[in-house]
Structure 1
Amino acid sequence: MIEDSIIQLEENIPLTDADLKHIQTQEEGIKSVLPAILGGCTLFIMVFITFLIWDHFVNFRYYEYILFVGAGFAMYGFCYFFALLVMRYDSANWKKDKAQGKNKLTSVVINRDKTEHAEYLTFAGPAKNDKIRIRVKPEDYSRYPVGAKLTVTYLKFSKEALELVER
């Protein structure tokens, strides 16, 4: 049983310049490599398709080569368009974080989850049977076991840990 007196939650703490820089760095990280990744994947797929239709490919007329290259550009554009939509959605979520600020929770780790994309620590919430699941860095995930008493500062909307301090 976890004592309710050790669980404290401070809400709507304004973001500092360092927090805003962290958010901006994460946004720009994927934007800088996206065209190269999509270009490489498109090129790989086009080479694979060329390999599969090689018998017919050598008999193409000049306009069929142009159509084939045009199909590659269309595929690149389609994937790039959807990647931009996903980044815009992600950016809107970060803007919600900017507007809502961050929270500071002093609590106990009650569970650890590891998915293929991220590691999470679950903390006891301020209400009875309330749980708060927060994404943490891999080194923090391996450092803190279940039962550790921590103070975690996290973004309110995305629930990503900014700082973990052991109590």
Structure 2
Amino acid sequence: MIEDFKTKLLENIPLTNEEIGDMESRLNSFKAKMKIILSFATVLVMVFVSFLIKDNFKTFRYYDYILFAMAGFALFGLGYLMGQLVLWYDTANWKKDKVAGKNELVSIVINRDKTEYGEYFTFAGANKNEKIRIKVAQEDYSRYAIGDRLSVIYLKFSKEALKINPIFTK
């Protein structure tokens, strides 16, 4: 089956305005959600710490309360910095994808794996021993198996599938 199989890779296909708008809206929604989630998590941690040291509150002076509040702001700042680094990385990849466009790959699925971040297919690349690992939607992950021949349109730098079509399914 693999001997007569031909892998095709078309690169730098321009993105449509709809695809650009969809990616930008997802990036902006992540920015908005990040601040809310970090605020809630920081308040939750501060309440938990307050509960643990509730017996010591009567011996607190004004500077202890200031230090406690500053620790909360420092915790929020650390989380915000980590989230911002992830956001900068995703934004940089998105800018490269916007310029380079998308790729279309006609290939065979050689591996499937799940992580805590998503589901991935590994496709046979255009060159010998080349593998391309792409993040796919959950419904596509459950629909296709190893050995299926698929046409996948994906973003080159983000390694995220935009559209998957079967060419030959066992």
Change (3 A) 1:82 1:121: closer
In 2, the alpha carbon distance for the partners of 1:4 and 1:18 equals: 36
Give the letter for the 2:76 counterpart: Y
Instruction: Check whether the contact 2:90–2:158 (CA below 8 A) recurs between aligned residues.
Output: no
The residue aligned with 2:68 is 68
The residue aligned with 2:102 is 102
- Alpha-carbon RMSD across the aligned residues, in angstroms, is 1.6
Please report the TM-score for the alignment, with normalisation by the length of structure 2. 0.90
**1:54 and 2:51 are equivalent in the alignment:** no
**1:12 and 2:5 are equivalent in the alignment:** no
In 2, the alpha carbon distance for the partners of 1:51 and 1:5 equals: 64
| 1:58 aligned counterpart, secondary structure | helix
Number of aligned residues: 167
| 2:59 aligned counterpart, secondary structure | coil
Shift of 1:4: 5.7
More deviation, 53-62/131-140 = 53-62
In 1, the alpha carbon distance for the partners of 2:129 and 2:74 equals: 51
The residue aligned with 2:83 is 83
**1:113 and 2:113 are equivalent in the alignment:** yes
Write the deviation string for residues 60-113 of structure 1: whole angstroms up to 9, x where unpaired: 123322332232123222322332232122211111111221110111111111
The residue aligned with 1:127 is 127
Tell me the percent identity: 55
More deviation, 35-44/82-91 = 82-91
In 1, the alpha carbon distance for the partners of 2:143 and 2:5 equals: 24
Runs of 4+ aligned structure 1 residues displaced above 3 Å come to: none
Write the deviation string for residues 9-30 of structure 1: whole angstroms up to 9, x where unpaired: 1111111112212211221121
In 1, the alpha carbon distance for the partners of 2:20 and 2:112 equals: 27
Shift of 1:55: 1.6
| 1:111 aligned counterpart, secondary structure | strand
